[in-house]
Amino acid sequence: MCGLSGIYAIDHQQSISAPVLKKMTDTIRHRGPDDEGYILINTQSQEYSHYHGHESSLEVKQMLPALPSYTKANLGLGFRRLAILDLSESGHQPMSIVSDDLHIVFNGEIYNYQELRTELKAHGCHFRSATDTEVILMAYRTWGQDCVQRFVGMWAFAIWDGKKRCLFCSRDRFGIKPFYYLYQDGMLYFASEIKQLNTLLNSPNLNNTMIWRSVKINAMLAYENETFWADITSLQPGYNLIVENGELSLAQYYQLDQSMFESFTGGFDRAVHEYRELFLDSIRLQMRSDVEVGSCLSGGMDSSAIVCAARPHTYKPLQTFSAYYDYDPALDERKWIQNIVDQTGSLSHLISPTAQDALEWFDQVTYYNDLPTGAGYASQYAVMKSAREHGVKVLLDGQGSDEITGGYGHSNYRYFADQLRKLQIGRFASEIQNSIKSQKAGKAAPMLAKIALSALLPESKLYDLEFRFYRFDPFNSDFVASCKDHPISGIKDIKASRLSNFLYNMMNVTSIQTLLHYEDRMSMANSVESRVPFLDHRLVEFAFSLPSRYKIKPPTNKYIHRMAMKDIVPDAIFNRKDKAIFSSPFYSTWMRGEFTAFIEHTFNSTAFRQRGIWNLPLIKQKWQSYLAGSNKDSEMLFNIVALETWYNKFVS
pLDDT in tens, 561-594: 999 999 999 999 998 877 656 667 888 889 999 9
**CA 149/CA 147 separation, integer angstroms:** 5
Domain boundary among 199, 223, 252: 252
Segment among 329-343, 355-369, 393-407 with least mean pLDDT: 329-343
pLDDT (0 to 100) of residue 455: 95
Q: Is it true that the peptide bond before 312 is cis, omega within 30 degrees of 0?
A: no
Of 190, 166, 181, 169, whose CA–CA distance to 246 is shortest? 166
Q: Are 68 and 143 within one domain?
A: yes
Q: pLDDT tens for residues 95-116?
A: 999 999 999 999 999 999 999 9
Q: pLDDT tens for residues 474-531?
A: 999 999 999 877 778 889 999 999 999 999 999 999 999 999 999 999 999 999 999 9
Q: Are 29 and 153 within one domain?
A: yes
- Helices 511-524 + 377-389 axis angle, to 10: 40
**Residue 305 burial (CB count, 10 A):** 27
Residue 382's domain comprises 258-404+511-574
What would the mean pLDDT of 7-19 be, rounded to a whole number? 94
What would the mean pLDDT of 157-181 be, rounded to a whole number? 98
Going by pLDDT thresholds of 50, 70 and 90, the confidence category of residue 437 is confident
Q: How many domains does the chain have?
A: 3
Domain boundary among 546, 574, 602: 574
- Helices 301-310 + 268-286 axis angle, to 10: 60
Q: Are 151 and 54 within one domain?
A: yes
Assess if residue 187 is contained within a domain: no
Q: Are 281 and 364 within one domain?
A: yes
Assess if residue 470 is contained within a domain: no
What would the mean pLDDT of 49-55 be, rounded to a whole number? 96
Assess if residue 216 is contained within a domain: no
Q: Are 566 and 596 within one domain?
A: no
**Torsion of Cα atoms, 505 then 507 then 510 then 516, to 10°:** 180
Element (H, E) at 115: helix 113-122
Q: Are 60 and 153 within one domain?
A: yes
Q: Are 609 and 551 within one domain?
A: no
Q: Are 242 and 365 within one domain?
A: no
Q: Are 77 and 7 within one domain?
A: yes
DSSP single-letter state for residue 535: G
Q: Which CATH number do you get for residue 393? A: 3.40.50.620
Assess if residue 490 is contained within a domain: no
Q: Are 246 and 281 within one domain?
A: no
**Pairing mode of beta strands 102-110, 153-161:** antiparallel
Q: Are 241 and 290 within one domain?
A: no
Assess if residue 277 is contained within a domain: yes
Going by pLDDT thresholds of 50, 70 and 90, the confidence category of residue 329 is confident
What would the mean pLDDT of 132-148 be, rounded to a whole number? 98
Assess if residue 195 is contained within a domain: no
Assess if residue 423 is contained within a domain: no
What would the mean pLDDT of 138-161 be, rounded to a whole number? 99
Assess if residue 336 is contained within a domain: yes
Element (H, E) at 39: strand 35-42
Q: Are 609 and 529 within one domain?
A: no
